[in-house]
Every structure is written in structure tokens, then in C-alpha cells.
Amino acid sequence: QVQLVQSGAEVKEPGASVKVSCKASGYTFTGYYIHWVRQAPGQGLEWMGWINPDSGGADYAQKFQGRVTMTRDTSISTAYMELSRLTSDDTAVYYCARPYCNSTSCHIWFDTWGQGTLVTVSS
């Protein structure tokens, strides 16, 4: 079955960077973009951007530009999201998600989500 499995929880100090992984299985990894969405404790969902696993191209929400980098390793069907210069406001659960695609087009609603990775930023 289609599955996205994320790396485990992280604790980081302010100013550090974190890299979260998202391993895909059950489908052709290069056939679907991977998006990242985060959720601060008790808060709503915030879209961060996407990566095209086929080309490696990426696009980021304006809020995160200059601080986020999304990459992939096609040999192990894994996408990565790295966020730098962390502050306490970056404490959140980070999700990877796959948009819907059929044979002719893709649309950005998310029918598959990873389990989430809690990143805690604290000194």
C-alpha cells in the first residue's frame, strides 16, 4: 500500500538546523511531488513547499524561503526537508504529504500523509 514513513522526533537548540526524512513506498517515487506541511502545538496546518522527486526542483512558501531546503534521494525513495536557523516558533510536527494524481494530471489535495515528526526547539 502507498505509505510515507518519516524519521523520528528531534530536539534542537535555537540557531541549529534540522533535517527530516520521508521514505515513500508502494508507488513510483518519482511520479508524485512531495509536499511538506507543519503544525505547531495546538495550532493549524501550514504549508511549507514541495519538491519534485523526478527533477529535484522545489518551490517554497515565501515565509520559509532562505531557510528551508527540500531535497531527495531517488535511490532510496526518500525526500528530505531541512530547516535552518531554528527558533522556538519552529517547534511543530512536520508532515510530508503526497498530492493526488491520475493518468493525466495532478491536483494538490493530499490523500497520503506521513505520520509526522515532532521537532522541538529548546535551549
Contact positions toward another protein, by CB under 8 A? 35, 44-47, 59, 61-62, 95, 97, 100, 107-111, 113-116
d(CA 1, CA 7): 19
Residue 17 or 111 having the CB closest to another protein: 111
d(CA 79, CA 72): 4
Residue 73 or 111 having the CB closest to another protein: 111
Shortest distance, position 28 Cβ to another protein, whole Å: 20
Residue 49 or 53 having the CB closest to another protein: 49
Shortest distance, position 56 Cβ to another protein, whole Å: 18
Q: What angle do CA 66, 67, 70 make, to 5 degrees?
A: 95
Contacts of 49-58 with CB under 8 Å at 24 or more apart are: 51/79, 53/29, 53/79, 54/30
CA–chain centroid gap for 41, Å, is 17
Shortest distance, position 76 Cβ to another protein, whole Å: 22
Shortest distance, position 68 Cβ to another protein, whole Å: 14
